[in-house]
Amino acid sequence: MEFFTLNDGNKIPAVGFGTFQIPADGSTYKAVKKALELGIRHIDTAAAYFNEAEVGQAVKDSGIKRDDVWITSKLWLQDYKYAEAQKGIDISLKKLGTDYVDMYLLHQPYGEVTEAWGALEDAKKAGKIRSIGVSNMTPKLWQQYVSQFSTMPAVNQVEFNPFFQQKELRELLAPHDVKIEAWAPLGQGNSSLLTHPEIVKLAAKYGKDAGQVILRFEYQEGIITFPKSIHESRIKSNKEIFDFALMEAEMDVLRALDTNQGIHDPDRPGVKEMLLGAFDVHAND
């Protein structure tokens, strides 16, 4: 596995495993356990995924040393007030069954963002979190909030794939060495992406599948990815992207696929209100 070095000095596995929308009915446990068996060492979860406990149990039962597995989780909006954020972090740690989490993010950029960020900063100082970051921040939201932060986020986890390459955002983050983490790195199974002629051509050339070409492109662009799958063959293939490299001309071809259009627009009117009242992450605590 290859690593990226974050702006706080911590090294994060370049490819991980996402658990969004995997149910907490044993499915998350099985998928994470299998991912770890196959060599994945980076697991991404969130309070709002309702599966932190299964992630934590799978890591524990894997027999792999805790320090060798990178775990990311995220704070939900209802816990953004400072005191609630402190409690939310502790609840995540309890569910994950660990004394610390490798990375903790603000899941959405709305509400009491600066209070929540202060709680993450203090939890990092206390050793409960190694790296802190944000998620779903557009250039507009980044400029609105990050100027108020005492420390720079290590990552911004946003939608990213060859059809939506976040070029404006990347230009904004680059001077601060803030890494982008890609959710939907394969376009959430977008068939027009996975069957695009340029991608299919490169897959044939290198003896890879379309998903591997896309993930390799993202790796070479400096993007951290954590594709999600419950299928063993796909989990395995998603990490097998380090035995080939795309040429610069091929990278340019894939860069040209950018449409600057994603499936989620955090700036769209109504999104903030919808997410603020979406659900109660502590309903079953």
- Got the DSSP string for 206-267? HT--HHHHHHHHHHHTT-EE----S-HHHHHHHT--SS----HHHHHHHHTT--S--S--TT
Task: Decide if 1 contacts 14 (C-beta within 8 A).
Answer: yes
Structure tokens at 48: 């709002």
- Which single residue is written with the structure tokens 């950018």? 258
Among 25, 91, 134, smallest CA distance to 282 is for: 91
The dihedral built from the CA positions of residue 13, 14, 15 and 21, taken in this order, carries a sign that is positive
pLDDT more than 90, % of the chain: 93
User: Is the per-residue pLDDT at 228 higher than 90?
Assistant: no
Name which residue leads in pLDDT, 20 or 1: 20
Which residues pair with residue 105 across a beta bridge? 74, 133
Token representation of residue 252: 């340019």
Summarize pLDDT for 146-187 with one digit per residue, the tens. 999 999 999 999 999 999 999 999 999 999 999 999 999 999
Is there a catalytic annotation at residue 82?
A: no
Number of domains the chain contains: 1
pLDDT of 215: 97
Note down the domain range covering 19. 3-276
Domain membership flag for residue 265? yes
C-alpha–C-alpha distance, residues 41 and 70, integer Å = 6
Separation of alpha carbons 203 and 213, rounded Å: 6
Q: For residue 145, what are its two tokens?
A: 């909030």
CA distances 218 to 73, 114, 126, 179, 233, Å, are 22, 30, 34, 12, 20
Which of 49, 80, 145, 219 is an active site residue?
Answer: 49
Is 211 domain-assigned? yes
* 197 domain residue, yes or no: yes
Q: What is the mean pLDDT of the chain?
A: 96
Judged against a pLDDT cut of 90, whether residue 189 lies above it is answered with: no
CB atoms within 10 A of CB 75: 29
Question: Across the chain, which distance is largest between two alpha carbons, in Å?
Answer: 54
Report yes or no on 91 lying in a domain.
Answer: yes
Going by C-alpha positions, the residue among 211, 167, 71 that lies closest to residue 128 is: 71
Per-residue pLDDT at 284 exceeds 90: no
- Here the CATH number for the domain that contains residue 38 is 3.20.20.100
Residue 281 lies in a domain: no
Given a cut of 90, is residue 190 above it in pLDDT?
no
- pLDDT bracket for residue 269 (50, 70, 90): very high
- If you average pLDDT over residues 180-196, what whole number do you get? 93
**Residue 285 placed within a domain:** no
Residue 208 has pLDDT above 90, yes or no: yes
- What is the model's pLDDT at position 137? 98
Query: Is residue 105 domain-resident?
Result: yes
Distance (Å, whole) CA 169 – CA 180:
9
| Structural domain includes residue 186 | yes
Do 43 and 17 form a contact (C-beta atoms < 8 A)? yes
Sequence-distant (6+) residues with CB within 8 A of 82 are 112, 115, 116, 118, 119
Q: Mean pLDDT, to the nearest integer, of 190-197? A: 94
pLDDT of 113 reads 98
DSSP string, 38-55: TT--EEE--GGGT-HHHH
pLDDT of residue 285: 79
Note the pLDDT of residue 231.
85
Which is it for the CA torsion 101, 105, 111, 115, positive or negative? positive
